[in-house]
């Protein structure tokens, strides 16, 4: 995904061409994923984290990877869910929201939207209450 740009039109337009950076897709997909109820945070995968530390990848789309393959665009989202939610339901909503948001904002057709659940976050309030009960 180095410096590739996505052409929005193959036709020569009178006003010029429009290109969208993969980083823009990452940001839009990340925001679309976090809008879904049940998503606690986005979290990058290990390989992306190493690449960021080596200066090869920006942190704008943290938790989202975009692959510009010959067969189409694939989005991978790495999320942490809230404890107690239906993970399959949350993941399906994330897939739908990313697909729909990118379609509406950019007219880009995605080949796949893959969701990777990398953690579960417990509510801070419940943890504090449990500690109080255990102590007293």
Residue 58 confidence class, pLDDT cut points 50, 70, 90: very low
Task: Yes or no: say if 127 and 88 are a contact pair by the CB < 8 Å rule.
Answer: no
pLDDT tens, position by position, 70-109: 889 999 999 999 999 999 999 999 999 999 999 999 999 8
Tell me, yes or no, if the pTM score tops 0.85.
no
Task: Yes or no: say if 121 and 87 are a contact pair by the CB < 8 Å rule.
Answer: no
Using the predicted structure, report yes or no on whether residue 1 has a pLDDT greater than 90: no
Percentage with pLDDT > 70 across the chain: 71
């Amino acid at each position: 995904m180095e410096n590739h740009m996505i052409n929005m039109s193959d036709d020569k337009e009178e006003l010029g061409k429009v290109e969208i950076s993969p980083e823009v897709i990452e940001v839009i997909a990340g925001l679309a994923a976090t809008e879904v109820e049940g998503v606690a945070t986005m979290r990058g995968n290990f390989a992306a984290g190493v690449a960021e530390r080596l200066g090869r990848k920006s942190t704008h789309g943290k938790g989202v990877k975009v692959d510009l393959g010959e067969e189409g665009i694939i989005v991978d989202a790495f999320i942490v869910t809230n404890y107690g939610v239906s993970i399959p339901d949350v993941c399906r909503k994330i897939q739908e929201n990313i697909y729909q948001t990118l379609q509406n904002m950019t007219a880009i057709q995605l080949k796949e939207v893959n969701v990777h659940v990398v953690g579960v976050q417990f509510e801070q309030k419940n943890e504090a209450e449990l500690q109080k009960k255990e102590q007293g």
